[in-house]
Structure formats: structure tokens, C-alpha cells
Amino acid sequence: MTDAKRRLRAIARWLAYGQLLLVALFAIGLLLAESTGPSFLLLYAPRWPMLVTATVACAIAVWLRHRWLVGAQVVALLVAAFPVCGLRASLPARRSHDARASLRVRTWNVYFGKLGYDEVARALGDTRADVTVLQASREHVTEACQRRGLTLRADGEFAIESRLPIVRVEVPPPFEDGTPRMFVRYELETPGGRLALVSVHPFSPRHAIENGTQSGLASDATLRERQIAAAIENARGGGMPFVLVGDTNLPVGSAIARRRFEGLHDAFDDVGNGFGFTFPAKRPWMRIDRFLAGAGVRFLSVTASPRGPSDHRAVEAEIELAGSGG
């Protein structure tokens, strides 16, 4: 073996070792999530480069003919794909024989219609969903929908368009310090009985990330957890099946999500396939627009829409209300 080839193999070996270390550090960072400044920033960083480097490292390990290194790189690739990037592979869900009803629900952060009010209204008119809930909406979106014959109920930045009767709407008061709770509860009359939809949009971490101070990141995470906790507490009240839906601003790996979503089931975890990324819409790398449900609700399908007139992609789920037999 020539000296040049030996050097090339040594470089390749260290690149493969470096990839293992990178995946391990990234996974540890996600475990820390919002608890430290660096891991907070890592939580909202693009993760697809990990898949690229992991694939290249696997090829390098095969070329080096190191069996243990090949095995280690395959494990690293699986870690990068599933826990880190949130890849899912689900079997098709079957409808229950005793189901009381099923319906399609769509959620969409429409970015205040900044990419076109009429385009947003046109997309809403084309949907097959029985119910569409919007976050980051505004009066111009409502007006554009009205021009197209759509009836949109708006409560601040939250809005809903429903083919089912809306029997109750609850807009919660702000917290004691005046901070808005950032959710609205809708109760719908479905063929299977009453269903609560709690549309959420806790504050974005964008400004905290731009400022980048440790104290700013910590207070931002605390506020977002406070808002999401209030929404979940509301959803669980009322003694009826519920779906918590919307832009949670909590990506895969969030410690807030691990704490607060305990006992709920996520549509994408249940029946999703692929990565389900929803933000940013042009080249998404985060899944922050979610469907979560408690007892009495089952997910049959969930899909993220192609890019539309927003910085988020819409997500649509088919849900089933459990029958009397459970």
C-alpha cells in the first residue's frame, strides 16, 4: 500500500470516527433540549445534514472494510434518521367497527397572509377537510375568505372554518401578568357527539434565538411551556374527547414536549410516514405543526401539504371518535 493511500485511509477513518462523535453529541444535545443555551439553539437547527454525513460515513466504513465501524455507522445513521430527525414508518390504520364518527381536520399557520390573502382563501376553498383551524390569521384573511363564499370565525389571530356546527367557543383570558395564553377552544357537534378542538400557537422562539442571550432563551422556553401547559389543561377539562392542534413551536426532541405531551398521542407518531417536516415551508426541517389527542380519539391518517402561501405547511389528519366499546 502506498503512503498516499495510507494517508487517505487514515483521513477516511478519522472522518468516520468524527461522524460517530457528531451524532452522539447531537443526541445528547437533544436530551438537554431547552435547558441550556447551546442545546436550545441546536433544537431549532436543521438536522438533515446529519443524514447526509451519516450516509457518507457509512460508505467510508464500507470502503475501509472495518466491520465494527460499518455496524457503528449503521447505528449512527438510524439514530440520526429516527430519534434525531423524527423519521416514522407506520402501517395504514384500519377503521374501527364500533367507531361513532370520523372527520378530517386541517391546521395551518397562515403567516398573517403575508404571502397573499386571496391565495390563502383559495387554498382553504380547495380543501376536503370538514374543519380547518388557522393560526397567525388576520382580518384580511377573513375578508378574502368571505369574498370566496367561505365563512371564517376569527378570534384574534385564531380562526376556524367548519362544516360542522360550532356549539361553543372559549377564548381564555390572559395570564395575571397580561401575557396571552395563545389558544382558543372550539367545541363541535359531530355525528359521533361533542368534540373539543383546542387550537394553539405559543410564542415563537425566533426573537429569543436572534438575541441569543442565555437568560432570554431560558425565559422564552419558560413562557412557551406555560402557554402550552394552559392549553393542555383546558383541553383535558370538559369531560369530552379532544384534539390539541396547531403550531406548537416545539420540534422533535423538545423537553417541553416530552413533559407536557405525556399521556397524549401524536398523530404523526401513530400513523405518520417520512419526516413530516412543516417549517420553514420552502425547505422544511422541523415538525412543529401537530395533532395531539387524548382518550376517545384515534388517528387514521396524517399528511403535510405541499408548499402553499405561508411559511408553514398545512397538516391534515383524519380522526375517528371511539365507539362506546372503547
Q: Which domains does the chain have, with CATH numbers?
A: 3-84 (no CATH), 101-321 (3.60.10.10)
Tell me how far the alpha carbon of residue 160 is from its chain's centroid. 19
Question: Which alpha helices (H) appear in the chain, and where do they start and end?
Answer: 3-32, 37-43, 48-64, 67-79, 117-126, 139-147, 206-211, 214-236, 255-260, 267-271
Closest to 249 in 3D by CA, of 283, 274, 286, 214: 286
Tell me how far the alpha carbon of residue 76 is from its chain's centroid. 24
Tell me how far the alpha carbon of residue 88 is from its chain's centroid. 13
Report the alpha-carbon distance of residue 11 to residue 101 in Å, rounded. 60
DSSP 279: B
Contact 93, 318 (CB under 8 A): no
- Collect all residues with Cβ–Cβ distance below 8 Å to 36 and sequence separation of at least 6: none
DSSP assignment string, 204-215 = PSHHHHHH--HH
Report the alpha-carbon distance of residue 84 to residue 56 in Å, rounded. 17
Residue 141's pLDDT is: 95
- Grid cell listed for 294: 387524548
Residue 323's pLDDT is: 63
Contacts 24+ apart (CB under 8 A), 259-262: 259/225, 260/225, 260/228, 260/229, 260/232, 261/232, 261/292
Residue 326's pLDDT is: 35
> For the whole model, what pTM was predicted?
0.91
Report the alpha-carbon distance of residue 185 to residue 198 in Å, rounded. 4
- The pLDDT tens digits along the chain (326 residues) read 577 667 777 777 777 778 888 888 888 888 899 999 889 999 999 988 888 888 888 888 888 877 888 888 888 889 889 988 999 999 888 888 777 788 999 999 999 999 999 999 999 999 889 999 999 999 999 999 999 999 899 999 999 999 999 999 999 999 999 999 999 999 999 998 999 999 999 999 998 888 878 888 999 999 999 999 999 999 999 899 999 999 999 999 999 999 999 999 999 999 999 999 999 999 999 999 999 999 999 999 999 999 999 999 999 999 999 864 33
Beta-bridge partner residues of 86: none
Beta-bridge partner residues of 222: none
Report the alpha-carbon distance of residue 87 to residue 54 in Å, rounded. 15
Element (H, E) at 93: none
Report the alpha-carbon distance of residue 145 to residue 153 in Å, rounded. 10
Is 114 buried (19+), middle (13-18) or exposed (0-12) by CB count in 10 A? middle
